[in-house]
Amino acid sequence: MKLNSTPKQDGFSFPAEFDPVSDVWMAWPERPDNWRDNAIPAQNNFAKIANEIARVANVYIAVSAAQYQNARSSLDQRIKVVEMDYNDSWMRDIGPTVLTDQLGNKRGVSWQFNAWGGEFNGLYQDWQHDDLVAPSVCSALDIDYYQAPFVLEGGAIHTDGEGTLYTTKECLLSPGRNPHLSMEQIEFYLQEYLGIQKVIWLTHGLYNDETDGHIDNLIHVIGPGKVVLSWTEDPQDPQYHRSRQTLSELNGQTDAKGRDIEVIKLPLPDPLYYQQEEVKTISKSSGMLRCEGERLSASYANFLMVNQHVFLPQFGEQYDREAVKILESSLPDYEIVPIPSREVLLGGGNIHCITQHIPA
């Protein structure tokens, strides 16, 4: 049921990803203008990721009627396959953000979705099914939901679960999202619909991220007052100055509890690019340009935390093992689960982008 109040009014707030999780939702890829070879390599990659997550949480996969049997045969029998309409498979952005109250009750937030920019710079022109996914997921979970009055995607926000929200100006203030709202008005809405006390605004996201700089490619909040930051030591890399600016911004303020923010540098992979064989079977599209030689927005920070496990992207690249070691050291109570995910990356995101966790 859609509610007419706000989460803040009702005592609901945004819990941290490192808090206990009951379910993880995903959506099955099939869009031919985003996924190569009729999405078959992507489907294999999504299935591997889903099957790994299913070891530690309930997993639900939204799937079209046409792909239902294909998905069902590829997935672990523990995974629940749910027939649903959607336009593309970025469940972090089209699914609900689920909040909790002090009694453990859950409610969802359905954000307005416009394909990362609407008519200004959206990646596709028809997103009407995407915009209905969050209410559909809430219905499947049998929880009530709030309809937020502004455009936002789940990949644009991170929280510590203790009142601090992290986001980027590049994304939330982009002309394709909410040009009629000021930064102060957006911050008010974030407080009302997420029950948070402080917004930490970082200037930029990751270089060449087609979502206009989602926070989940740049940093990941791994504990109260503790974040990992995508980092490069190469001064020729366009991300070099962005990461240093982000570090300065994080060092220059405290979180909602007044804590200094500990920043752990997580290396970026060496620059990765679309290969000719990876783009030749992608259908042409006006919004999603997939060109040989274009840089991919690859980041190890785009991982998923679920019940003391980290599902970490791997790229077949020299920094893969170093990323694992850094997270093992930073999160000693966690099992780090490295998963090759280049096929997800080719679609424009990674493991965090294709999953939406539901708090326990």
Instruction: List, for residues 194-238, the tens digit of each pLDDT value.
Output: 999 999 999 999 999 999 999 999 999 999 999 999 999 999 999
What's residue 203's pLDDT? 98
Task: Tell me, rounded to whole angstroms, the distance of Cα 82 from its chain centroid.
Answer: 21
Whether residue 99 contacts residue 109, with contact meaning beta carbons closer than 8 Å, is answered with: yes
The two most distant CA atoms of the chain are separated, in Å, by: 53
Whether 353 sits among the annotated catalytic residues: the reply is: yes
DSSP class of 204:
-
C-alpha span between 25 and 140 (Å, rounded): 11
Mean pLDDT, range 60-89, rounded to an integer: 98
β-pairing, 164-168 vs 158-159, is antiparallel
Distance CA 135, CA 127 (A): 15
Q: Which amino acid, 141?
A: L
Dist. CA 75–CA 92, nearest whole Å: 20
Instruction: Answer positive or negative: Cα dihedral of 11, 17, 21, 25.
Output: positive
pLDDT at 287 over 90: no
- H helical segments located in 60-182: 68-74, 91-94, 118-121, 133-141, 169-172
What 8-state DSSP symbol labels residue 300? T
Segment 244-275, tens digit of pLDDT? 999 999 999 999 999 999 999 999 999 999 99
Place of tokens 């699914």: 95
Measured CA to CA, the distance from residue 185 to residue 152 in angstroms comes to 13
Q: Is the predicted pLDDT of residue 172 greater than 90, yes or no?
A: yes
pLDDT range class, residue 13, cuts 50, 70, 90: very high
pLDDT score, position 194: 98
> Annotated catalytic residue: which of 138, 171, 291, 353?
353
Q: Which two tokens stand for residue 197?
A: 């006390």
Cβ neighbourhood burial of 90 (10 Å; 0-12, 13-18, 19+): buried
Q: Give me the percent of the chain exceeding a pLDDT of 70.
A: 100
Span 25-47, pLDDT tens digits: 999 999 999 999 999 999 999 99
Alpha-carbon distance of 110 to 153, in angstroms, equals 9
Residue type for position 316? G
pLDDT at 326: 98
The pLDDT value given to residue 110: 98
CB 222 within 8 A of CB 187: no
Amino acid at 291: C
**Sole residue written with tokens 């785009």:** 302
**Full-model pTM:** 0.98
Mean pLDDT of the chain: 97
Question: What pLDDT band is residue 285 in, cutting at 50, 70 and 90?
Answer: confident
Q: Which residue has the tokens 């109040």?
A: 5
- Structure confidence at residue 289 (pLDDT): 82
The answer to whether 55 and 41 are in contact (CB under 8 A) is no
Closest C-alpha to 18, from 343, 334, 348: 334
pLDDT at 288 (0 to 100): 87
Distance, CA of 42 to CA of 18 (rounded, Å): 27
CA angle 327/336/338 to nearest 5° reads 105
In the β-sheet with 164-168, what is the strand arrangement from edge to edge? 158-159, 164-168, 198-202
pLDDT number for residue 360: 96
pLDDT in tens, 94-131: 999 999 999 999 999 999 999 999 999 999 999 999 99
